[in-house]
Chains A and B, each alone.
Chain A
Amino acid sequence: MSDKLHQNLAIIGHVDHGKSTLVGRLLYETGSVPEHVIEQHKEEAEEKGKGGFEFAYVMDNLAEERERGVTIDIAHQEFDTDEYNFTIVDCPGHRDFVKNMITGASQADNAVLVVAADDGVAPQTREHVFLARTLGINELIIGVNKMDLVDYEEGKYEEVKDEVTDLLNQVRFDTENASFIPISAFEGDNIAEASDNTGWYSGDTLLEALNDLPEVEPPTDAPLRLPIQDVYTISGIGTVPVGRIETGTMEPGNNVSFQPSDVGGEVKTVEMHHEEVPSAGPGDNVGFNVRGIGKDDIRRGDVCGPADDPPSVAETFQAQLVVMQHPSVITSGYTPVFHAHTAQVACTIESIDQKLDPSTGEVAEENPDFIQSGDAAIVTVRPQKPLSLEPSGEIPELGSFAVRDMGQTIAAGKVLEVNER
């Protein structure tokens, strides 16, 4: 482990636009390829009488090697710049993984969006940009990749840049927090060194841009929010809710409230890794017990918070969402299942308030009759059962959701406002 500041970096973009190649290139250029892969290459090169360490070799062997790994570390690769230690998450392309990324444990701080110069904005480019927006990615570095395939033409680069800028506007991503770099992950242009092939470009290389990212903001000072995953009865202890703390801290003696079940009490003990702890914070998986709470008083999907600042329960809520795929059109009255933290609740889209213009991000239509795949919209939603949620502007960890229907993820979004019951 290095003592540098740490960042989680998501690599996003359409399938085949070069995400894996870019990950390999970043590892290669920063000297982060595992030692034994280099050793193995040396041996093979000696046998065959070839010299030099090739990038192609890294690509072939890293994937194979990772597939055999036994822990989740196989999906998390690391490299360092002068300032930062980065952990890379190469995001799955398919939209059915969106739910996992929304309810998952680790949050990416910033992202690199890979867009192939010869293909431009493609369906997953769109979905991933919206996801990045929903998941609260702060800064986006856009690598316009495969510049070698378009003869390093500035015109082609500008074309893709305009297309992506339109897309960012559509989801209201502040383009001031986005920077564009023409790259070739395969050839290595503008990754570690400024490329002679793009004389018309005078901006940062990718590694410079990564090194210049702002420091990750410290965790919010939001109050305790602990979505309950399971509730147990443990002999000699009593009722034990279990879950992962999203924000705030929990300590014995705290007075807590569970919403929407609307019960509460005093925390007696908090355990983590089978040991009693004086305090637990964000990211900690805990079990605890609360005076006077029975097993049937609370359930999965409840959120635990301080009694004097309890989790919000939505009578209705307003949200911004993007429709990723739907066989027909979505009209008011539609009732799919919303997945947010540990809760899964059927919710009715009560009204479609605004549809957003793809090119400007401005409101294109008030109260449209319907929305369909590819549309971004502001909607008002009524949960069919009580549901605890928070505005993403206040507590982002409790403010995003995935929408599923017919076994598919059809939309993702974030909560703008909660009208409490």
Chain B
Amino acid sequence: MGKVAANMKIMPHSPEIDLDELQERLEASLPEGAQINGFERDDVAFGLVALLPTVIVADDAGGTEVVEDAFAEVEGVESVAVEDVGRI
């Protein structure tokens, strides 16, 4: 089975959230089998900054769903979206 890279977009609850800490919480929440290769940040608007982790998951059952669910539970996360996926 190949591996898939997913570009995820995490929006924080508010512009006041500390992004370094949020990043750590996201890393800690990662389900087994998935891996975060790196984080980018995207300035959106009015002080809101999105975190864009590149997450590697296996190309088999479940897709990105388990990671999305885990991230959605993390304190300070407003929403989780998958922007882009591709096999590596």
**Nearest opposing residue in chain A for B62, CB measure:** A96
Task: Produce 1/0 per residue, A218-246, CB < 8 A to B.
Answer: 00000000000110101001001010000
Find out whether the CB atom of A240 lies under 8 angstroms from the CB atom of B87: no
Cα A285 to Cα B46 with chains together (Å): 12
| Shortest 5 CB-CB contacts between residues of A and residues of B | A287-B45, A75-B86, A70-B38, A96-B63, A271-B45
Residues of A within 8 A of B65 (CB): 96, 407
Task: Produce 1/0 per residue, A60-81, CB < 8 A to B.
Answer: 0001001111111011100000
Residues of A within 8 A of B1 (CB): 15
Task: Produce 1/0 per residue, B39-51, CB < 8 A to A.
Answer: 0101111111010
Cα A97 to Cα B6 with chains together (Å): 10
Find out whether the CB atom of B45 lies under 8 angstroms from the CB atom of A75: no
Find out whether the CB atom of B5 lies under 8 angstroms from the CB atom of A274: no
How many residues of A are in contact with the other chain, CB < 8 A?
A: 50
Check B2 for interface membership: any CB of A closer than 8 A. yes
Cα A411 to Cα B82 with chains together (Å): 19
- Shortest CB–CB separation between residue B71 and chain A, in angstroms? 14
Q: Which of B55-82 touch A at CB < 8 Å?
A: 56, 59-65, 78-79, 81-82
Listed by A's residue number, 24 A-B pairs whose Cβ atoms lie within 8 Å are A69-B5, A70-B38, A71-B38, A72-B5, A72-B86, A75-B5, A75-B86, A90-B88, A92-B85, A93-B59, A97-B85, A100-B63, A230-B79, A234-B14, A234-B48, A270-B45, A271-B45, A272-B45, A273-B42, A273-B44, A274-B44, A274-B45, A274-B47, A287-B44
Interface core residue of B6, B79, B88 (most chain A CB under 10 Å): B88
Find out whether the CB atom of A101 lies under 8 angstroms from the CB atom of B85: yes
Contact A96 B37, CB 8 Å, known A75-B86, A242-B45, A287-B48: no
Other than the given A72-B54, A271-B46, 4 more pairs (CB < 8 A) read A94-B59, A100-B84, A230-B78, A240-B48
Task: Produce 1/0 per residue, A39-76, CB < 8 A to B.
Answer: 00000000000000000000000010011111110111
Check B4 for interface membership: any CB of A closer than 8 A. yes
Cα A273 to Cα B43 with chains together (Å): 4
Contact A97 B4, CB 8 Å, known A274-B43, A274-B45: yes
Contact A240 B85, CB 8 Å, known A75-B5, A93-B2, A407-B65: no
Interface core residue of A19, A74, A103, A271 (most chain B CB under 10 Å): A74
**Nearest opposing residue in chain A for B7, CB measure:** A72
- Shortest CB–CB separation between residue A296 and chain B, in angstroms? 15
Residues of A within 8 A of B31 (CB): none
Interface core residue of B61, B78, B86, B87 (most chain A CB under 10 Å): B86
Residues of B within 8 A of A342 (CB): 81
Chain B: interface residue count, which band? 35 or more
Find out whether the CB atom of B60 lies under 8 angstroms from the CB atom of A94: yes
Interface core residue of B2, B11, B79 (most chain A CB under 10 Å): B2
Q: Could you list which residues of chain A lie within 8 angstroms of chain B, going by C-beta atoms?
A: 15, 19-20, 63, 66-72, 74-76, 89-94, 96-97, 99-101, 103-106, 229-230, 232, 234, 237, 240, 242, 270-274, 285-289, 300, 342, 407, 409
What is the predominant secondary structure among interface residues of chain A facing chain B? Answer: mixed
Find out whether the CB atom of A19 lies under 8 angstroms from the CB atom of B87: yes
- Shortest CB–CB separation between residue A78 and chain B, in angstroms? 12
- Shortest CB–CB separation between residue A16 and chain B, in angstroms? 10
Find out whether the CB atom of B63 lies under 8 angstroms from the CB atom of A94: yes
Find out whether the CB atom of B11 lies under 8 angstroms from the CB atom of A242: yes
Find out whether the CB atom of B88 lies under 8 angstroms from the CB atom of A229: no
Check B24 for interface membership: any CB of A closer than 8 A. no
Contact A105 B48, CB 8 Å, known A66-B88, A100-B6, A274-B43: no
Find out whether the CB atom of A74 lies under 8 angstroms from the CB atom of B54: yes
Find out whether the CB atom of B45 lies under 8 angstroms from the CB atom of A240: yes
Residues of A within 8 A of B52 (CB): 72
Find out whether the CB atom of A91 lies under 8 angstroms from the CB atom of B87: yes
- Shortest CB–CB separation between residue A405 and chain B, in angstroms? 13
Contact A104 B59, CB 8 Å, known A74-B54, A271-B45: no
Find out whether the CB atom of A94 lies under 8 angstroms from the CB atom of B61: yes
